[in-house]
Structure 1
Amino acid sequence: MADVLVIGGGPVGLFMAALLLQHGVSVRVLEQRTGAEPHSRAIGIHPPSLDALQGIGVAPAMVAEGVPIRRGIAVGGGRTLARMSFAGVSEGFPFVLALPQSRTEAVLEQRVRQLDPDAVHRGVRVTGLHDDGGRVTADATAGGSAVRYTAAIAIAADGVRSTVRPLLGTAVRAKDYRDSYLMGDFADTTRFGPDAALFLESAGIVESFPMPGALRRWVVRLADPGDGGDAGWLVQTIRERTGIDVDPASNSMLSRFGVRTRLVRRMVTGRTVLIGDAAHEISPIGGQGMNLGWLDAAALAPLVLASLDGSDVGAALRNFETRRTAAAARAARQSEINMALGRPLTAGQWAVRNRAVAAAAAVPAVNGFVARRFTMQ
């Protein structure tokens, strides 16, 4: 038995657990994976998330290990179209931090284990959820055996393939897009240093982000969903669109992904709350998904604490649900804009689009507004 069950031990679930544990709440984190996340996956941590992570004391360690991206550069046809500084977006963290998800999760799990060495239970797969109005019981399997966990509140942060969401019968608004991307991490052969670079080319956008360890992530918008291949294909496409040579032998991660949006109609069902990708899946373009989950957790934690103290939080939970579903919808719309900006264009359309980008970026008020939107402010 525990005060709170957190189902899912990814970055959102671990952050949720740490928020509650530091207030003396008994938490059990149930995670299907038997080992830690080995891949880089999500890398962008935005200023509001760094503010939230500061609340559990891990932001300094993450900043020390990551790469603060303080500026973005837009390039088209071999010339710089725009520069965007993040200096004014936040007083405490005027940058987007690049840190591989594997390291983010490691730092968060270390903090959770500092607070309670027995909080994280790995190799646990939830198969059933029962709410009697006073407590929630989760049936699960672990090591081939049946186990049962009971708590006052359950928080599902078990990702886009959530097992809890269908158990609750939660309705989902779904939309699929024709956009498709290939991304990879390589040794950094550019002169961009800690800057992010967006190449607005007629064949489709190429995005480039610095990473720790002198690495750089490249993301290519595929001209056709059937395109794509190995690291060599990605390197060749980067060269064709940007003129930059990347060493295919230095590839350390390669992933192809399509895009879809999944927004739940309800985040709160009885004594169970869906947060993170379990509640809202949006396009990875823009890097807001993981951050949305952290902000869900930060908004939910005070309500959980109040509920455990005996307060009636029904109205507050409804307000939480309204605000967080609206935030996810805004992020989904922003991702649609990001994707539209990077789709293939005819030569004439490409020239018009790039002139418009350059003209807009030259207006300080517009440049600052876009910088704030890009960094989730």
Structure 2
Amino acid sequence: MVEVAQPVRPGGGPRACDVLVVGGGPTGLFLAALLAQQGVDVVVLERRPEASTHSRAIGLHPPALAALHTLGLEEPALAEGVAIRRGVARSRGRDLGDLTFEGAWPDRPQVLALPQHRTEALLVGRLAELRPGALQRGWEVAGIHDDAKGVVVDAVRAPAPEVGDRTPGESTRWSARVLFGADGPSSLVREHVGIRTRRRAYPHTYLMGDFADTTGDGAAAVLHVEPGGIVESFPLPGRVRRWVAHTGAALAPSSPELLTEIVQRRTGQVLDVPSCTMTSAFSVRRSIAERMLGGRSVLVGDAAHEISPIGGQGMTLGWLDALAVAPVVEQLLADGPTGPLSAVASFRELEQARLRAALAAARRAELNMAAGRPLPAWAGVVRNGAIRAALGTPLRDHLARAFTMRGL
């Protein structure tokens, strides 16, 4: 645990709020807006001085759309995104079968493709409506310690050389009844509270990029199940398509030319290199916290459970954390108990349930990765036959439920 002892607010004590959220990504913003909607005095500290413009996570599963509905943001999201109602499995230019989501989600039979920066913008706008000034940008956690009634957080200005109006070493102190760590896989809150994680690295790497959509596949997601490794493509707004290719065990250069070459070699599809707006190479790991509770602090989202991005479950999983924890926090604030949250039965039950859900999501992601790895020719024939058979039977509805996070 790290503590910062110097006075940080001349002439006064810490700034106070009911709930302090560290991390202004999708999970932190969603949780803050959810609490603000219930009248909770909530503040978000975000390290980045400006909003990101990166497309990053793009898939909003039906549970995520239901979550957005609670904030009145489902319709605005649907208006901006692309509704994917059909997924196609393809190999060597021939369709193996397809699946739709009506059986799994009759009320929301689609996965919405929307760049993460637009999802965050919707959440930022809603939070500003509910609690103006709640989002405090440019602050990094320097120390955390519990006091008798809650938690005290010391924060310093995050490095931002391009911003010239900040005082070097500027700091502040916040006092809150509950602290949430929504600050991602490298969570400072998790580090300061002293929560360990169970980590596992996988021998899978991927290269992804966004290009002009020249496929003719419309709003369908396509999984090219090829001998050299899977290639996935998903439509995005503005006639753009996200491509993701398995690149083996060694991380590939983040190059639009390389991704174009891989896609053409495996699928025959020619990408328009000059239209590329983003490429990213990434490896895969699983990191799940041993616990989510530490003192008066709670981990949510990637701070509590980083899983493979293959399958696009991470953001939705974080929002499901938020939906589960918000009513528990509201009850805590109403009842007013002090002491560690682990002494409160409702928090212990929530912790166990959400860690189980994270493990289930991680296992689903592992199956997705295993299905997309390169295979010898004979094994590829067997795999394709199994896919064709599964998509031609009622099992397709079970696959649709798994792909869209039913039951998590």
Judge same fold: TM > 0.5, yes or no: yes
> CA 1:277–1:226 in structure 2 vs 1: closer, same or farther (change >3 Å)?
closer
Map Cα deviations across residues 241-289 of structure 1 (whole Å, 9 max, x no partner).
0011110000001000000000001001121100000000000000001
Equivalent runs, 1:357-372 vs 2, <5 Å: 357-364=387-394, 366-372=395-401
Structure-1 residue corresponding to 2:125: 110
> CA 1:136–1:311 in structure 2 vs 1: closer, same or farther (change >3 Å)?
closer
User: In the alignment, residue 330 of structure 1 is paired with which amino acid?
Assistant: A
Structure-1 residue corresponding to 2:266: 241
Conservation of the 8 A alpha-carbon contact between 1:222 and 1:228: no
Residue 200 (structure 1) aligned with residue 225 (structure 2):
yes
Counterparts of 1:205 and 1:363, CA distance in 2: 23
Structure-2 residue corresponding to 1:94: 109
Residue 326 (structure 1) aligned with residue 356 (structure 2):
yes
Structure-2 residue corresponding to 1:4: 19
Say which is worse superposed, 226-235 or 139-148, in terms of deviation.
226-235
Match of 1:352 among 382, 388, 392: 382
How far apart are residue 226 of structure 1 and its match?
4.7
TM-score between the two structures when normalised by the length of structure 1: 0.98
SS of match in other structure, 2:238 = coil
Conservation of the 8 A alpha-carbon contact between 1:133 and 1:270: no
Counterparts of 2:241 and 2:269, CA distance in 1: 12
Residue 281 (structure 1) aligned with residue 306 (structure 2):
yes
Counterparts of 2:86 and 2:183, CA distance in 1: 33
> CA 1:302–1:17 in structure 2 vs 1: closer, same or farther (change >3 Å)?
same
Counterparts of 2:148 and 2:259, CA distance in 1: 53
How far apart are residue 207 of structure 1 and its match?
0.3
Structure-1 residue corresponding to 2:247: 222
Conservation of the 8 A alpha-carbon contact between 1:133 and 1:271: no
Counterparts of 1:147 and 1:179, CA distance in 2: 42
Counterparts of 2:215 and 2:331, CA distance in 1: 51
Structure-2 residue corresponding to 1:211: 236
Say which is worse superposed, 227-236 or 353-362, in terms of deviation.
227-236
How far apart are residue 227 of structure 1 and its match?
3.8
Structure-1 residue corresponding to 2:161: none
Aligned length: 376
How far apart are residue 224 of structure 1 and its match?
4.4
User: In the alignment, residue 260 of structure 1 is paired with which amino acid?
Assistant: R
Counterparts of 2:256 and 2:189, CA distance in 1: 36
Q: Post-superposition, which runs of at least 4 consecutive aligned residues in structure 1 deviate over 2 A?
A: 226-229
Identity score, percent: 50
Counterparts of 1:368 and 1:228, CA distance in 2: 37
Map Cα deviations across residues 54-82 of structure 1 (whole Å, 9 max, x no partner).
10111110011000100100001221111
Counterparts of 1:47 and 1:185, CA distance in 2: 23
SS of match in other structure, 1:309 = helix
Match of 2:173 among 124, 148, 155: 148
Q: Unpaired runs of 5+ in structure 2?
A: 1-15, 158-165
Counterparts of 1:198 and 1:207, CA distance in 2: 5
How far apart are residue 88 of structure 1 and its match?
2.0
User: In the alignment, residue 113 of structure 2 is paired with which amino acid?
Assistant: A
Structure-1 residue corresponding to 2:188: 163
Counterparts of 2:262 and 2:115, CA distance in 1: 24
User: In the alignment, residue 374 of structure 1 is paired with which amino acid?
Assistant: F
How far apart are residue 24 of structure 1 and its match?
1.0
User: In the alignment, residue 192 of structure 2 is paired with which amino acid?
Assistant: L
How far apart are residue 125 of structure 1 and its match?
0.4
SS of match in other structure, 1:194 = coil
Counterparts of 1:224 and 1:173, CA distance in 2: 21
Counterparts of 2:109 and 2:252, CA distance in 1: 37
Counterparts of 1:87 and 1:51, CA distance in 2: 15
Counterparts of 2:18 and 2:253, CA distance in 1: 47
Counterparts of 2:150 and 2:349, CA distance in 1: 22
Structure-1 residue corresponding to 2:10: none
Structure-2 residue corresponding to 1:376: 405
How far apart are residue 160 of structure 1 and its match?
0.9
Equivalent runs, 1:55-134 vs 2, <5 Å: 55-134=70-149
Q: Let me know the Cα RMSD of the aligned residues.
A: 1.1
> CA 1:229–1:269 in structure 2 vs 1: closer, same or farther (change >3 Å)?
closer
User: In the alignment, residue 134 of structure 1 is paired with which amino acid?
Assistant: K
TM-score between the two structures when normalised by the length of structure 2: 0.91
Structure-2 residue corresponding to 1:257: 282
